[in-house]
Amino acid sequence: MTPSHTAHALKLIDSELGAVTETLATERADEIAELAAVLRDARRVFVLGLGRSGLALQMTGMRLMHVGLTVHIVGDATTPAIEGGDVLLVASGSGTTGGIVRAAENAVKAGAHVVSITANPASPLATASVATVIVPAAGKLDRSGAKSAQYAGSLFEQSVVVVGDAVFHTLWLASGATADDLWPRHANLE
């Protein structure tokens, strides 16, 4: 390992993520705004993703709490049952991950709405969603290098963080709240 390997890696990530962000800003901003509007009107927001996509989406859950939404991470011991008026926020690059699709179907049966972030607009997940952000990134099984030279869906997972922060920032700007208004919602147990 050399500093040149690290520099190459950073430039690759910056280049690929920059291209995705540009596409999201020019071609998908309406999808992000629509997803944000559904979340804004939710009684409660439930966040679900698996693996690295799930970890990235949990960051969004925290930011949604900071902007004043009631948020639950699916799988936590204190997460209640989803009901009508609630929204399930999910991320899956393929949009076909069995557990994610089943959760989306169950949420719809319970009367909740589903919003999603995926790379596959024709997926069952996108079909079950009332709002979907389509990320132009390779899926984790795409090893062709055509959409990304990064490993196993990394670009999608990075994009989930970017989309989540864009949703948060959209909601924050619309709220008129200041950073000082949001700050008391941060954990103060340190």
Average pLDDT for 2-31 = 94
| Residues contacting residue 147 through CB under 8 Å, at least 6 positions apart | 136, 137, 138, 155
Q: Classify domain 3-179 by CATH number.
A: 3.40.50.10490
pLDDT of residue 38: 98
pLDDT tens for each residue of 59-89: 999 999 999 999 999 999 999 999 999 999 9
CA distance 163 to 8: 25
pLDDT tens for each residue of 125-136: 999 999 999 999
So where are the chain's domains? 3-179
CA distance 62 to 149: 30
pLDDT of residue 93: 93
Tell me which residue of 61, 62, 31, 59 sits closest to 46, measured CA to CA.
61
Tell me which residue of 188, 168, 174, 170 sits closest to 66, measured CA to CA.
168
Tell me which residue of 157, 108, 160, 97 sits closest to 130, measured CA to CA.
108
pLDDT of residue 188: 72
pTM of the model: 0.94
pLDDT of residue 190: 62
Contact between 153 and 163 under an 8 Å Cβ cutoff? The reply is no
> What residues are annotated to the active site?
157
pLDDT tens for each residue of 104-145: 999 999 999 999 999 999 999 999 999 999 999 877 677 777
